[in-house]
Amino acid sequence: MRLATLISRALGVPVIALAAAGLPARAGPAAAQDTRPGIAVLRFGNGGSYGKDREEFEALRKGIAAMLISELAQNPGVRLVDRAETQRLLDEQGLAVAERVDKETAAKIGKMVGARYMITGSFIDLYGDFRIDGRLINVETGEIMKVVRNDPKLHDRRDMFRMIQSVAEGIMAGTKLPALPASSASARAPAKQVPTEALAFFSRALLYQGRGDKAKAIDYYQKALEVFPDYTEASEGLKRVRGS
């Protein structure tokens, strides 16, 4: 697929402002008016995990990134780029299955989707001893601005969602990005206890949805909601799959 086609598609998505950055395209009026710093999150890499089946870890690559996007999106001071847009560009670059994307490529993709910052990262699960690392990349310079690791007090796989939250907070802290308002954090309090089992089912749903297996995606979204009925991301995902 040609780059021009990708740019055209991106312009049709209100939350994405394509950067001029040497590309023969201009952002639409709605995108041009949104001056908030844009952030795009790439799928996380598996740093060499053991204790679960390979499919589970492959699913978490998508699930952790998706939940990190959801956490960062609670901040009204930043603009999150649609996951589907970054995925399309990864496909175009032949990086859809790559474990890691180097900082130069991440910066290039960031420019193409109008992001100021790109987030890449990895996780490692050693029989339940879990860790998440995130890297904040300045799209303009291609340099890694900050490396964030989840709160060291959290290392049990059962605390995976809290680890994702701590990484989101770490990304905001120490940078020029605005902190998550206390009012938004309070509003999210009931959803802060997403069980790891539900997150794992949600991740599987994303994996199968990406593979075009609608039946399995629906099944795993439903399983996630059975474990955690208030799982907003799973509920929205289920609606999207059923409506596709």
Per-residue pLDDT of the chain (244 residues; tens, 9 = 90+): 444 444 334 333 333 333 333 333 333 344 456 788 899 999 999 999 999 999 999 999 999 999 999 999 988 888 998 888 887 877 776 665 555 677 888 888 888 888 999 999 999 999 999 999 999 999 999 999 999 999 999 999 999 999 999 999 999 886 677 776 665 554 554 445 899 999 999 999 999 999 999 999 999 999 999 999 999 999 999 999 999 7
Residues with Cβ within 8 Å of 182's Cβ and at least 6 positions away in sequence, in order, are none
Count CB-CB contacts under 10 A for residue 90: 18
Q: Evaluate whether 144 touches 121 at the Cβ level (below 8 Å).
A: no
All structural domains of the chain with their residue ranges: 3-187, 194-237
CA distances from 226 to 6, 31, 71, 176, 197 (A): 37, 38, 22, 39, 10
Q: What CATH number has the domain spanning 3-187?
A: 3.40.50.10070
Which tokens belong to 142?
A: 């291609």
Q: Evaluate whether 230 touches 190 at the Cβ level (below 8 Å).
A: yes
Predicted TM-score of the model (pTM):
0.80
